[in-house]
A and B are shown apart, each in its own frame.
Chain A
Amino acid sequence: MPNINKLKSISGEAHIIGVAESNEIGKVPNKSPIALHAEAALNALEDAGLNLSDVDGLFTAGWSTLDIAEYLGINPKFTDSTSVGGSSFVIHVAHALSAIASGYCEVALITHGQSGRSDREPMPRNPAAPMAQYESPYGIIGPPISYAMAAKRYMHIYGENNTREAMAKIALQTRKWANLNPKAYFYDKKMSEEDYHNSKWIAWPFHLLDCCLVTDAGAAIVITSKERAKDSKNGSVSILGAAEGHDHSMISQMPDLTKAFGTYTGPQAMKMAGVTHSDFDLTMLYDSFTYTVLITLENLGFCKPGEGPDFIKSKILGPGGNFPLNTNGGGLSYTHPGMYGIFTVVEAARQMRNQARDRQLKKCNLSLVHGTGGLLSSTGTVILGKD
């Protein structure tokens, strides 16, 4: 079992000192995915006030760090290509804390780059994996169908109308944040309730507006030791708690379609950080689908199983509200190149370092960041605190 006392002893030993996206995000057909990694890496290092030559730990997902390090021209002394879906980059933050606290590296660089919209060739799948044998032949391919089947099960247990209402509210309130973020894909486009309910079916019970975007984008994060973070250029954010894990790969193997692994990673990360639900000023949850947000709130323990719809009804998630959620506009309305997790960390760090411009929260001292990857398969939770 994870050793909570040891984990508590490294709480806060590493800090995020730089975050950035690639120069452009959204539709970027003139840049390759690996170019987006590189562009974002340089931007994040600029934000951190460091150079590529300072980097001695490299983390990425979807790609091997071999390719990224070679492209950047660096020789990392700590390397981590953990790739468990879109949550991977949140998990990398935990791994960076661990590597820095134990001395493997001092400056960790996490990079992401993906051209979900403009890729010239889709990412190949492993034809020997069980998924290719038991799900793909039946057209059970990709996230929308799998998450839709989970959502239908939830509706069966807890009721269809209240679930639908909650999913609509998540989509609408997230769009309001996107309308404040010039980098958001839907910055200029408002969403009405009619827009939501009239949007076409992708995989019933999911409307188009229950589903995240498919964009081109890169992002990167720079993390260093507590000591070295002290004189960082734009301020730093402390990594106070972290937990990760997974309990299946294929949706047909998920133990309970209404409970992802956040039921473990949420409470565990909070325990490590010594904080509780009511302490957070900002909650950044991977919103691959509206349903993902609904069950993540339950799984993390913000409310009990089945109480997600009532919880969402009782809160204002959008600008000026009492439960700020996904203030960048989320995967639903800001950007989602395929593995979005890194952007949840980028936004939390921005809010806590007063870089969020029009959407800046008045007070943001403690954030919960949570990634869900694969087919509700893996989760990573990170707790970030302002210095």
Chain B
Amino acid sequence: MIQPIAQPESDFYWENLKKEKIFIQRSKDSKRFQFFPRQISIHNPNEKLEWVEVSGEAELYTFSIVYVAPHKNFIDHVPYISALVKLKEGVIIPTNIVNVEPKPENLAIGMKLSPVFIHKNNQPTLLKFEPQKNKGNYK
């Protein structure tokens, strides 16, 4: 795997993932969310940012099934599912879908997902997602 190296503006995000909490930045006045963490609001640079804890409830926005490892550190992991998921709050997050066999027929755009926190030794916790069982899609 490749370890993320947190930066000053993202320390809070990664520290909270370790505690299985998901914090996303929001512009204080307009209440609009943004991902990834930044020093400034991309919606309005005059607005202050605040951190908001979210549930991690999400839907599948798109995916690919990776058969050829793009980097030597992923050779033992193929095939795996790379995905973009849309949080209930509207932001899109790059991630992996886990706990499902990586086959196109097992996945549907719009399917509901729940967060899975992947802890490994002293490494940063990764935020992955799994299908919610027996639940319909968001509209």
Residues of A within 8 A of B (CB): 127-128, 130, 132-142, 144-145, 148-150, 152-153, 156, 200-206, 250-253, 257
The stretch among B25-33, B46-54, B63-71 that forms the contact with chain A is B63-71
Contact A251–B80 (Cβ < 8 Å): no
Contact B109–A202 (Cβ < 8 Å): no
| Cβ of A260 to closest chain B Cβ, rounded Å | 15
A-B pairs under 8 A by CB, number: 103
Per a CB cutoff under 8 Å, which of A127, A137, A139 touches B70? A139
Per a CB cutoff under 8 Å, which of B6, B63, B65, B82 touches A201? B65
Contact B126–A252 (Cβ < 8 Å): no
| Cβ of A27 to closest chain B Cβ, rounded Å | 20
| Cβ of A367 to closest chain B Cβ, rounded Å | 33
B-side interface residues, number (CB < 8 Å): 36
Contact A133–B36 (Cβ < 8 Å): yes
Residues of B within 8 A of A253 (CB): 92
| Cβ of A292 to closest chain B Cβ, rounded Å | 15
| Cβ of B76 to closest chain A Cβ, rounded Å | 11
List the A residue with the shortest CB-CB distance to B2: A136
Contact B94–A252 (Cβ < 8 Å): yes
Contact B94–A203 (Cβ < 8 Å): no
Residues of A within 8 A of B94 (CB): 134-135, 138, 140, 250-252
Per a CB cutoff under 8 Å, which of A139, A153, A200 touches B66? A139
- If the complex has contacts A136-B2, A137-B3, are A148 and B96 also in contact, measured as CB distance less than 8 A? no
Residues of A within 8 A of B1 (CB): 137, 139
B137 at the interface (CB under 8 A from A): no
- If the complex has contacts A133-B5, A137-B126, A138-B126, are A149 and B80 also in contact, measured as CB distance less than 8 A? no
Contact B82–A140 (Cβ < 8 Å): yes
| Cβ of A234 to closest chain B Cβ, rounded Å | 41
Contact B64–A204 (Cβ < 8 Å): yes
Per a CB cutoff under 8 Å, which of B7, B65, B69 touches A204? B65
Contact A134–B3 (Cβ < 8 Å): no
| Cβ of B18 to closest chain A Cβ, rounded Å | 14
Which B residues from 11 to 34 make CB contacts under 8 A with A? Answer: none
List the A residue with the shortest CB-CB distance to B102: A204
B45 at the interface (CB under 8 A from A): no
Residues of A within 8 A of B36 (CB): 130, 133-134
